[in-house]
């Protein structure tokens, strides 16, 4: 017979028989079948908790009659994307064996069992893990005029950054702004002035997730005019800070744009030549791909900036492997007038400034010049045939 129902009272008695007949029934007895345990109470992490460690201990209560438990931890409330699903637990706690993701929301629930079977799951609880690591990223800001000129400058947060100029992070002081030529650069917000004439890449130190920082971008059109257009990626920005605001230096009366919501700004007011970027919060990169430019593949000789220039310009180049690199300057007659580099370089991005001075320390006249880069692998790879030669045209005006 059976199976019997759980949590049900049954009555029974017995009679006997033989060839002479059947006896009376015995006095009746009764019993109640066992029932599965009630749902445990979820103790920790409690529902709605935040900043939970990525290696938490899950704790729940012990219902009467419970002999084992099933714990489920999921990325979704429907419990279809499990981080853990363990039905072999015998205690009322469980320590995570591998780290949960940083700053992620999780859902968890538990049910108990005995010889009568599994009970129901407790109502699920949710929690969010803490942030882990330091903010270390840069945000590209594209600037363009009505004419052909355009540029992309970068600002960001790094644990290696200082308040000054950090060449290891790609920060190099630019030459003074030349009137009549398009320019975009980051400059000091206020004294003391520690980044000189300005930077195309400006990183500030990481101090904590709640830090507030201000960057100042200065700009001017060249052959084009206002309106100047500024563009960025709000989806990326939302992942790495609480908010980012682009405002004018008058308290945001003329310009006030949420960069974590909007994606561009068209500036028509020609009396404005600088804007402030106010960053609220600085978080580690989680599920988004960093937008910081890495070392390009192979060899790259970038166009000098600014160009035309007066009195100096910066020439940037990169190599993805250790190489012997020579960069020389030639005039229009093909004569070598200056040498900027002639050495072995490790993989990375490098930059040199040239102020129009020749080999004999003489100041060269205005005109057209060419920067020529010759590179080949260093060490055991030298002579493998992968020699690189590139040339850029530069215009010096005085």
Query: Mean pLDDT score of the chain, rounded to an integer?
Result: 89
Q: Which CATH superfamily is domain 42-129 in?
A: Immunoglobulins (2.60.40.10)
Place of tokens 């702004």: 177
Closest CA to 278 of 318, 241, 228: 241
Domain residue limits, the chain: 42-129, 137-280, 299-396
Beta strands in 137-248 (DSSP E): 137-144, 150-158, 183-187, 201-205, 212-220, 228-231, 243-247
Q: What pLDDT is recorded for position 292?
A: 46
Identical fold for domains 42-129 and 299-396, yes or no, is yes
Pick the CATH number of 299-396 from 1.20.120.330, 2.40.30.10, 2.60.40.4070, 1.10.3720.10: 2.60.40.4070
Q: What share of the chain is helix, strand, coil (3-state, %, to 5)?
A: 5, 45, 50
> Within a 13 Å sphere around the CA of 26, how many CA atoms are in the beta-carbon half?
10
Beta strands in 183-335 (DSSP E): 183-187, 201-205, 212-220, 228-231, 243-247, 256-258, 264-267, 274-280, 299-301, 313-319, 323-330
| Contact partners, residue 358, CB within 8 Å, separation at least 6 | 337, 338, 364
DSSP 351-374: EEEE-SB-TTSPBPPSEEEEEEEE
Q: What pLDDT is recorded for position 268?
A: 96
Q: Give residue-wise pLDDT tens across range 163-220.
A: 898 887 878 888 788 888 888 999 999 877 889 889 988 999 999 999 999 999 999 9
Q: What pLDDT is recorded for position 321?
A: 80
Q: Give residue-wise pLDDT tens across range 109-138.
A: 999 999 888 999 999 999 999 998 889 888
Q: What pLDDT is recorded for position 290?
A: 47
Please compute the mean of the pLDDT values over residues 293-307 and round it to a whole number: 74
Q: Please report which confidence band the pLDDT of residue 293 belongs to, taking 50, 70 and 90 as the band edges.
A: low
Helix, strand or coil, per DSSP, at residue 185: strand
Q: Give residue-wise pLDDT tens across range 76-102.
A: 999 999 999 999 999 999 998 889 988
Return d(Cα 106, Cα 102) in angstroms, integer.
11
Q: Give residue-wise pLDDT tens across range 345-395.
A: 777 777 788 888 888 888 899 999 999 999 988 765 555 557 889 899 999
Residue 239 has pLDDT above 50, yes or no: yes
> Within a 13 Å sphere around the CA of 181, how many CA atoms are in the beta-carbon half?
18
Q: What pLDDT is recorded for position 349?
A: 73
Question: Does residue 389 or residue 310 have the better pLDDT?
Answer: 389
Q: CA separation (Å) from 291 to 135, 184, 237?
A: 13, 19, 10
Q: What pLDDT is recorded for position 173?
A: 83
Closest CA to 98 of 127, 73, 131: 73
Question: Does residue 49 or residue 309 have the better pLDDT?
Answer: 49
Return d(Cα 318, Cα 291) in angstroms, integer.
18
Q: What pLDDT is recorded for position 287?
A: 54
| Contact partners, residue 335, CB within 8 Å, separation at least 6 | none
The alpha helices in 249-384, defined as continuous H runs, are none
């Amino acid at each position: 017979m059976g199976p019997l129902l759980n949590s049900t009272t049954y009555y029974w008695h017995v009679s006997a028989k033989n060839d002479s007949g059947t006896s009376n029934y015995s006095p009746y007895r009764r019993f109640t079948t066992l029932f599965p345990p009630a749902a445990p109470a979820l103790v920790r992490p409690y529902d709605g908790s935040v900043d939970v460690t990525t290696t938490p201990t899950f704790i729940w209560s012990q219902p009467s009659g419970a002999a084992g438990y099933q714990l489920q931890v999921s990325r979704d409330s429907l419990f279809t994307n499990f981080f853990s699903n363990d039905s072999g637990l015998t205690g009322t706690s469980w320590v995570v064996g591998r780290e949960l993701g940083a700053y992620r929301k999780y859902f968890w629930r538990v049910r108990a069992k005995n010889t009568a079977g599994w009970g129901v799951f407790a109502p699920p609880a949710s929690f969010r893990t803490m942030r882990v690591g330091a903010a270390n990223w840069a945000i590209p800001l594209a600037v363009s005029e009505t004419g052909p000129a355009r540029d992309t400058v970068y600002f960001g947060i790094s644990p290696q950054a200082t308040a000054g100029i950090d060449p290891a992070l790609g920060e190099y002081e630019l030459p003074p702004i030349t009137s009549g030529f398009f320019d975009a650069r980051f400059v000091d917000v206020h004294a003391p002035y520690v980044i000189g004439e300005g930077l195309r890449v400006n990183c500030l130190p990481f101090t904590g997730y709640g830090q507030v920082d201000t960057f100042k971008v200065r700009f001017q059109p060249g052959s084009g005019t206002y309106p100047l257009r500024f563009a960025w990626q709000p989806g990326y920005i939302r992942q790495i800070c609480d908010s980012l605001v682009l405002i004018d230096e008058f308290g945001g009366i003329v310009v006030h744009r949420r960069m974590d919501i909007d994606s561009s700004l068209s500036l028509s007011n020609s009396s404005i030549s600088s804007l402030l970027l106010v960053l609220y919060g600085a978080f580690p990169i989680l599920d988004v791909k960093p937008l910081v430019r890495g070392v390009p593949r192979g060899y790259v000789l970038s166009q000098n900036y600014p160009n035309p220039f007066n009195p100096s310009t910066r020439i940037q180049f990169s190599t993805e492997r250790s190489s012997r690199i020579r960069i020389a300057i030639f005039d229009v007659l093909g004569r070598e007038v200056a040498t900027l580099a002639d050495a072995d370089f490790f993989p990375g991005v490098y930059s040199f400034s040239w102020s129009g001075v020749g080999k004999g320390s003489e100041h060269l006249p205005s005109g057209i010049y060419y920067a020529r880069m010759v590179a080949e692998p260093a060490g055991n790879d030298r002579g493998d045939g992968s020699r690189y030669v590139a040339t850029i045209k530069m215009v010096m005006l005085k």
